[in-house]
Structure 1
Amino acid sequence: MHNPIPPHRYFPYLTWTEIEAMPDRENVVIVQPMGAIEQHGPHLPLAVDSAICTTVLGQALAELNPAIPAYSLPPLYYGKSNEHWHFPGTITLSAETLLRVIHDVAESVYRAGFRKLVLLNAHGGQPQVLEIAARDLHLAHPDLMVFPLFVWAVPNCAGELLSQKELELGIHAGDAETSLMLSILPEQVRMELAQTEFPQGLPTESWLTMEGALPFAWVTRDLSASGVLGDPTVATVEKGDRLLESLAQGWVTVLEDIYRFQQPQARLDLPQVP
């Protein structure tokens, strides 16, 4: 059940008595890995985001200082993927359902005495949902520290390995994800079916972009006939190995930071500014 999470870091393998006896539960780091089951072009399986999230987390937990208590919950494989639902095989939750699931998981974690919950996400279609959930949970429980984080957000070596065009526009099933999958699940990658397709019809001489400070709403079918946004044909296992190691190293650092983190508390006894 645990792979690729190290068994000693897999929350479901604990007993209730071990949890009850666990010291300093307030600073134990609980991680909810989150991905998606959605199309990734003709050459990649539906499980890409889930596979990347759990593998990066698993390697980070394996490399984490054993003295730091951190555990992974079972992966949440389904996410909000309705931007891909025109392609067969995509399974999506609504934003409302995903919010409810996160809320109920977090309430269970809180009830068990834990106060640090990481929502570790690898699917680009749902960071905003996680941010809303995190804020609402912290409002409901001021002593609950919630971290809505994206697996690609840590410093990593992608800038050394990918072309500038790929870094800007290769956001789905392109070089990075395909290289990682060649490293993680090579038997599930069909490189003979890989095809290059960058977003079509983007506005020119405009400040508006598909992602960034001034985005417009889009679904994948607006931009791509194949479901690919990028160039997977240049992917290699060597790139994937390097990406995996650099991402895992970044998450070791972040998990250490979260273990040390304490929620900021403003002093309420300061004089009020008129």
Structure 2
Amino acid sequence: MMHGFIPPHCFFPYLCWTDIDSMEDKENVVVIQPIGAIEQHGPHLPIAVDAAISLGVLGKALEKLPSEIPAYALPCLYYGKSNEHWGFPGTISLSATTLLSVITEVAESVYRSGFRKLILMNSHGGQPQIMEIAARDIHQKYQDFSVFPFFTWRVPHIAKELLTPQELEYGIHAGDAETSILLALLPDQVQMSQAVKEYPQGLPQDGLVSMEGKLPFAWLTKELSKTGVMGDATAATKEKGDRLLASVSDGWVQVIKDVYRFRQPTSKF
């Protein structure tokens, strides 16, 4: 099945060109581009984690979305900018330039079909900046085109209720949250017998510079982790994953509703 987690009636490639040509209120239809990565996620998770999370969360959200809100998912963009994970076999990375070009050309195709609202739904922490640059440049070129560079995990959710403070701060890759949600989405692809607990090593202990804070330094995963894990994967459970999936997808229902109602600001001066 090409649509995977996405409800078939919301899967853009299943439309005929005549369906698109005759679609009503096309300028407010919400088109969503899921974006992930193919990169190492420790010895226990498949390299498709970020793509799986984009598709799994979006699929659940579209199932819950009221039928009067028109929204369609494009095929997932599986490859991303993942060069921070070089040094671990299986990682496939595009350059920032290539990824920016792909996103831009997909967006321009969506625009030519008459749509005016596009969400870039990115689940890989190594590329939000590229989404933001793409969105700004696309909107500058097509000023009646609203583009939204969203990170999957930035919607309201209940992670603070489920994860430890240490995990919330340092569990940024293949830890409790990602492992739990994969146990909910793709349990047969998770090898919990290989799960490890490893937090980033050698981080600055004082001063303003930090790994992921307001004043970050550039880093490679192999500099911070021997296993490729940054977090406690051993704490993951399917029950937590089910709750996270429900919570994050609820947040995405609200996001899609908000984008449907969104009107691009225009200066009156």
TM bucket by the smaller chain?
over 0.9
CA distance in structure 1 between the aligned counterparts of 2:9 and 2:223, rounded to whole angstroms: 44
Kindly tell me the number of residue pairs found equivalent between the two proteins: 268
Q: Distance in 1 between matches of 2:86 and 2:145?
A: 34
1:25 equivalent to 2:26? Answer yes
For structure 1, which runs of at least 5 residues remain unmatched after alignment?
Answer: 269-274
In structure 1, C-alpha distance between the alignment counterparts of 2:207 and 2:173, rounded to whole Å? 23
**Mapped partners of 1:263, 1:91: distance in 2:** 36
Equivalent residue runs for 1:1-274 within 5 Å: 1-268=2-269
Counterpart CA distance in 2 for 1:251 and 1:154 is: 7
User: Following the alignment from structure 1 to structure 2, what is the Cα–Cα distance between the partners of residues 22 and 32?
Assistant: 19
Measure, in 2, the Cα distance between the counterparts of 1:151 and 1:206: 30
Query: Helix, strand or coil for the counterpart of 1:31?
Result: strand
Q: CA deviation at 1:85?
A: 1.3
Cα distance in structure 1, aligned partners of 2:44 and 2:207: 33
Letter in 2 for 1:198: Y
**Cα drift, residue 114 of structure 1:** 0.2
Cα distance in 2 for partners of 1:184, 1:110 equals 32
What is the rounded CA distance, in whole Å, between the counterparts of 1:193 and 1:157 in structure 2? 26
1:267 is displaced (CA, Å) by: 0.9
- Counterpart CA distance in 2 for 1:27 and 1:4 is 24
**Alpha-carbon offset, residue 205 of structure 1:** 1.3
**Separation (CA, whole Å) in 2 of partners of 1:41 and 1:195:** 8
TM-score by length of 1: 0.97
Taking structure 2 as the reference length, what is the TM-score of the superposition?
0.99
Q: Which residue identity does 1:228 align to in structure 2?
A: V
C-alpha distance in structure 2 between counterparts of 1:86 and 1:153, whole Å: 29
Tell me the SS of whatever aligns to 1:33. Answer: strand
Give, in angstroms, the shift of residue 222 of structure 1. Answer: 1.0
Q: Secondary structure in 1 aligned to 2:198?
A: coil
- Offset of 1:207 from its aligned partner? 1.2
Deviation at 1:55, TM superposition (A): 0.4
1:104-127: CA deviations, max 9, x gaps?
000000000000000000000000
SS across alignment from 2:231 = coil
- Counterparts of 2:174 and 2:186, CA distance in 1: 14
Between the aligned partners of 1:211 and 1:234, the Cα distance in structure 2 is: 22
Considering only aligned residues, what root-mean-square deviation do their CA atoms show, in Å? 0.5
Letter in 1 for 2:17: W
Instruction: Find runs of 4+ consecutive structure 1 residues off by over 3 angstroms.
Output: none
For residues 212-268 of structure 1, what are the alpha-carbon distances to aligned partners after superposition, in whole Å with 9 as ceiling and x for unaligned? 211000010110010000000010000000000000000000000000000011112
Amino acid at match of 1:125: G
C-alpha separation in 2, matches of 1:129 and 1:205: 30
Partner of 1:271: none
